[in-house]
Chain A
Amino acid sequence: MLEFILAALVLIGAFFTLVGSIGLFRLPDFYMRLHGPTKATTLGAGAILVVSAIYFSLRSETPSMHEILVTLFLFITAPVSAHLMAKAALHLKLRTIERTQNKEDSSA
Protein backbone atom coordinates (compact mmCIF):
# COMPACT_ATOMS: atom_id res chain seq x y z
CA MET A 1 0.00 0.00 0.00
CA LEU A 2 2.71 2.44 1.01
CA GLU A 3 4.69 1.51 -2.05
CA PHE A 4 1.65 2.28 -4.16
CA ILE A 5 1.43 5.75 -2.62
CA LEU A 6 5.15 6.32 -3.22
CA ALA A 7 4.85 5.24 -6.84
CA ALA A 8 1.85 7.54 -7.32
CA LEU A 9 3.74 10.44 -5.73
CA VAL A 10 6.74 9.88 -8.03
CA LEU A 11 4.46 9.98 -11.07
CA ILE A 12 2.62 13.07 -9.80
CA GLY A 13 5.94 14.79 -9.12
CA ALA A 14 7.30 13.96 -12.57
CA PHE A 15 4.01 15.11 -14.12
CA PHE A 16 4.14 18.50 -12.39
CA THR A 17 7.79 18.94 -13.34
CA LEU A 18 6.77 18.29 -16.94
CA VAL A 19 3.80 20.70 -16.69
CA GLY A 20 6.15 23.43 -15.45
CA SER A 21 8.43 22.97 -18.43
CA ILE A 22 5.51 22.77 -20.86
CA GLY A 23 4.32 26.09 -19.47
CA LEU A 24 7.81 27.51 -19.91
CA PHE A 25 7.86 26.24 -23.48
CA ARG A 26 4.47 27.20 -24.85
CA LEU A 27 3.11 30.28 -23.06
CA PRO A 28 3.41 33.48 -25.09
CA ASP A 29 5.11 36.08 -22.85
CA PHE A 30 7.70 36.14 -20.08
CA TYR A 31 5.36 36.96 -17.20
CA MET A 32 3.08 34.07 -18.11
CA ARG A 33 6.03 31.73 -18.54
CA LEU A 34 7.15 32.66 -15.03
CA HIS A 35 4.14 30.84 -13.54
CA GLY A 36 4.98 27.32 -14.67
CA PRO A 37 8.51 26.88 -13.31
CA THR A 38 8.02 28.72 -10.01
CA LYS A 39 5.11 26.60 -8.89
CA ALA A 40 4.53 23.41 -10.82
CA THR A 41 8.21 22.53 -11.14
CA THR A 42 8.91 23.32 -7.47
CA LEU A 43 5.98 21.21 -6.31
CA GLY A 44 7.01 18.36 -8.62
CA ALA A 45 10.60 18.33 -7.42
CA GLY A 46 9.32 18.60 -3.84
CA ALA A 47 7.11 15.54 -4.26
CA ILE A 48 10.00 13.51 -5.68
CA LEU A 49 12.27 14.58 -2.80
CA VAL A 50 9.63 13.57 -0.23
CA VAL A 51 9.37 10.15 -1.87
CA SER A 52 13.14 9.79 -1.63
CA ALA A 53 13.08 10.73 2.07
CA ILE A 54 10.36 8.16 2.86
CA TYR A 55 11.94 5.46 0.71
CA PHE A 56 15.41 5.70 2.25
CA SER A 57 13.97 6.04 5.78
CA LEU A 58 12.09 2.76 5.32
CA ARG A 59 14.98 0.95 3.71
CA SER A 60 17.72 1.82 6.18
CA GLU A 61 15.42 1.89 9.23
CA THR A 62 16.99 5.14 10.43
CA PRO A 63 15.12 8.30 9.47
CA SER A 64 16.61 9.93 6.39
CA MET A 65 15.28 13.43 6.64
CA HIS A 66 17.85 15.50 4.82
CA GLU A 67 15.85 15.48 1.58
CA ILE A 68 13.36 17.61 3.53
CA LEU A 69 16.12 20.21 3.73
CA VAL A 70 16.37 20.45 -0.07
CA THR A 71 12.57 20.57 -0.34
CA LEU A 72 12.35 23.43 2.14
CA PHE A 73 15.21 25.20 0.41
CA LEU A 74 13.49 24.91 -2.98
CA PHE A 75 10.18 26.18 -1.58
CA ILE A 76 11.87 29.15 0.07
CA THR A 77 14.08 30.11 -2.88
CA ALA A 78 11.60 29.62 -5.74
CA PRO A 79 9.47 32.70 -4.99
CA VAL A 80 12.58 34.77 -4.29
CA SER A 81 14.19 33.99 -7.64
CA ALA A 82 10.83 34.45 -9.41
CA HIS A 83 10.49 37.87 -7.82
CA LEU A 84 14.00 38.88 -8.87
CA MET A 85 13.51 37.68 -12.44
CA ALA A 86 10.18 39.52 -12.65
CA LYS A 87 11.88 42.65 -11.36
CA ALA A 88 14.60 42.31 -13.99
CA ALA A 89 11.95 41.83 -16.67
CA LEU A 90 10.05 44.93 -15.49
CA HIS A 91 13.30 46.87 -15.47
CA LEU A 92 14.02 45.84 -19.07
CA LYS A 93 10.37 46.63 -19.98
CA LEU A 94 9.77 43.26 -21.63
CA ARG A 95 6.68 43.33 -23.80
CA THR A 96 3.53 41.53 -22.68
CA ILE A 97 0.92 40.01 -24.97
CA GLU A 98 -1.86 42.29 -26.20
CA ARG A 99 -4.66 41.12 -23.96
CA THR A 100 -2.80 41.60 -20.66
CA GLN A 101 -5.06 43.59 -18.34
CA ASN A 102 -3.85 46.63 -16.41
CA LYS A 103 -0.70 46.81 -18.46
CA GLU A 104 -0.06 50.39 -17.40
CA ASP A 105 0.45 49.23 -13.80
CA SER A 106 3.61 47.40 -14.77
CA SER A 107 5.31 50.63 -15.79
CA ALA A 108 4.14 52.63 -12.77
Chain B
Amino acid sequence: MLAAVLPYAIAMVSFALALSLIRLLLGPDAPDRILALDTMYINAIALLILFGLNLGSALYFEAALLIAVMGFVGTVALSKYLLRGDIME
Protein backbone atom coordinates (compact mmCIF):
# COMPACT_ATOMS: atom_id res chain seq x y z
CA MET B 1 0.00 0.00 0.00
CA LEU B 2 2.66 2.46 1.05
CA ALA B 3 4.93 1.30 -1.77
CA ALA B 4 2.11 1.86 -4.24
CA VAL B 5 1.50 5.50 -3.33
CA LEU B 6 5.15 6.53 -2.90
CA PRO B 7 5.83 7.15 -6.62
CA TYR B 8 2.82 9.49 -6.77
CA ALA B 9 3.95 11.34 -3.66
CA ILE B 10 7.47 11.67 -5.08
CA ALA B 11 6.02 13.00 -8.35
CA MET B 12 3.93 15.59 -6.48
CA VAL B 13 6.84 16.80 -4.38
CA SER B 14 9.10 16.95 -7.44
CA PHE B 15 6.51 19.06 -9.20
CA ALA B 16 6.39 21.33 -6.14
CA LEU B 17 10.18 21.63 -6.31
CA ALA B 18 9.95 22.59 -9.99
CA LEU B 19 7.32 25.26 -9.28
CA SER B 20 9.53 26.74 -6.55
CA LEU B 21 12.46 26.75 -8.97
CA ILE B 22 10.39 28.72 -11.49
CA ARG B 23 9.58 31.27 -8.78
CA LEU B 24 13.28 31.42 -7.92
CA LEU B 25 14.11 32.23 -11.55
CA LEU B 26 11.20 34.67 -12.03
CA GLY B 27 11.77 36.68 -8.88
CA PRO B 28 10.84 39.51 -9.29
CA ASP B 29 12.44 40.80 -6.06
CA ALA B 30 15.13 39.51 -3.75
CA PRO B 31 12.71 38.44 -0.96
CA ASP B 32 10.77 36.37 -3.50
CA ARG B 33 13.94 34.52 -4.39
CA ILE B 34 14.80 33.91 -0.74
CA LEU B 35 11.28 32.61 -0.16
CA ALA B 36 11.62 30.30 -3.16
CA LEU B 37 14.94 28.96 -1.82
CA ASP B 38 13.36 28.47 1.60
CA THR B 39 10.53 26.48 0.03
CA MET B 40 12.96 24.48 -2.06
CA TYR B 41 14.93 23.23 0.91
CA ILE B 42 11.80 22.10 2.72
CA ASN B 43 10.67 20.38 -0.48
CA ALA B 44 14.08 18.75 -0.70
CA ILE B 45 13.71 17.40 2.85
CA ALA B 46 10.31 15.94 1.98
CA LEU B 47 11.70 14.42 -1.21
CA LEU B 48 14.69 12.94 0.61
CA ILE B 49 12.50 11.33 3.29
CA LEU B 50 10.16 9.92 0.63
CA PHE B 51 13.18 8.53 -1.20
CA GLY B 52 14.40 6.94 2.05
CA LEU B 53 10.95 5.39 2.57
CA ASN B 54 11.03 4.08 -0.97
CA LEU B 55 14.41 2.42 -0.48
CA GLY B 56 13.58 1.33 3.07
CA SER B 57 16.70 3.01 4.41
CA ALA B 58 16.73 5.37 7.40
CA LEU B 59 20.15 6.74 6.44
CA TYR B 60 18.73 9.72 4.53
CA PHE B 61 17.50 11.19 7.79
CA GLU B 62 20.95 12.61 8.62
CA ALA B 63 21.04 14.49 5.33
CA ALA B 64 17.52 15.81 5.96
CA LEU B 65 18.56 17.11 9.39
CA LEU B 66 21.59 18.86 7.91
CA ILE B 67 19.53 20.45 5.14
CA ALA B 68 16.99 21.66 7.71
CA VAL B 69 19.63 23.33 9.87
CA MET B 70 21.68 24.80 7.02
CA GLY B 71 18.59 25.94 5.11
CA PHE B 72 17.28 27.85 8.11
CA VAL B 73 20.64 29.52 8.73
CA GLY B 74 20.84 30.41 5.04
CA THR B 75 17.39 32.00 5.01
CA VAL B 76 18.13 33.99 8.15
CA ALA B 77 21.50 35.18 6.79
CA LEU B 78 20.01 36.27 3.45
CA SER B 79 17.10 38.10 5.10
CA LYS B 80 19.47 39.81 7.51
CA TYR B 81 21.60 40.86 4.58
CA LEU B 82 18.61 42.50 2.93
CA LEU B 83 17.59 44.16 6.19
CA ARG B 84 20.93 45.65 7.13
CA GLY B 85 23.20 45.26 4.12
CA ASP B 86 25.41 43.17 6.34
CA ILE B 87 25.20 39.67 7.78
CA MET B 88 27.04 40.07 11.06
CA GLU B 89 26.15 42.99 13.26
A interface residues, Cβ below 8 angstroms from B: 3-4, 6-7, 10-11, 13-15, 17-18, 20-22, 24-25, 30, 33-34, 36-37, 41-42, 44-45, 48-49, 51-52, 55-56, 59-60, 64, 66-67, 69-70, 73-74, 77-78, 80-81, 84-85, 87-89, 91-92, 94
**Closest chain B CB from A23 CB (angstroms):** 9
Interface range for B: 35 or more
Instruction: Please determine whether B15 and A74 come into contact, CB atoms closer than 8 angstroms.
Output: no
Tell me the dominant secondary structure on chain B's binding face.
Answer: helix
Chain A residues closer than 8 Å to B16, beta-carbon distance: 14, 17-18, 20-22, 41
Instruction: Please determine whether B56 and A3 come into contact, CB atoms closer than 8 angstroms.
Output: no
Closest residue to B21 on the A side, CB-wise? A21
**Closest chain B CB from A22 CB (angstroms):** 6
Q: How far is the CA of A52 from the CA of B60 in the complex (A)?
A: 11
Instruction: Please determine whether B58 and A64 come into contact, CB atoms closer than 8 angstroms.
Output: yes
Q: How far is the CA of A59 from the CA of B57 in the complex (A)?
A: 11
Instruction: Please determine whether B39 and A41 come into contact, CB atoms closer than 8 angstroms.
Output: yes
Chain B residues closer than 8 Å to A80, beta-carbon distance: 72, 76
Chain A residues closer than 8 Å to B9, beta-carbon distance: 10-11, 13-14, 48
**Closest chain A CB from B33 CB (angstroms):** 10
Instruction: Please determine whether B83 and A25 come into contact, CB atoms closer than 8 angstroms.
Output: no
Q: How far is the CA of A74 from the CA of B68 in the complex (A)?
A: 7
Instruction: Please determine whether A24 and B76 come into contact, CB atoms closer than 8 angstroms.
Output: no
Instruction: Please determine whether B31 and A3 come into contact, CB atoms closer than 8 angstroms.
Output: no
Instruction: Please determine whether A56 and B35 come into contact, CB atoms closer than 8 angstroms.
Output: no
B13 partner, pick from A4, A18, A52, A77, beta carbons under 8 A: A18
Chain B residues closer than 8 Å to A64, beta-carbon distance: 58
Asked whether B6 is an interface residue with its Cβ less than 8 Å from the other chain, the reply is: yes
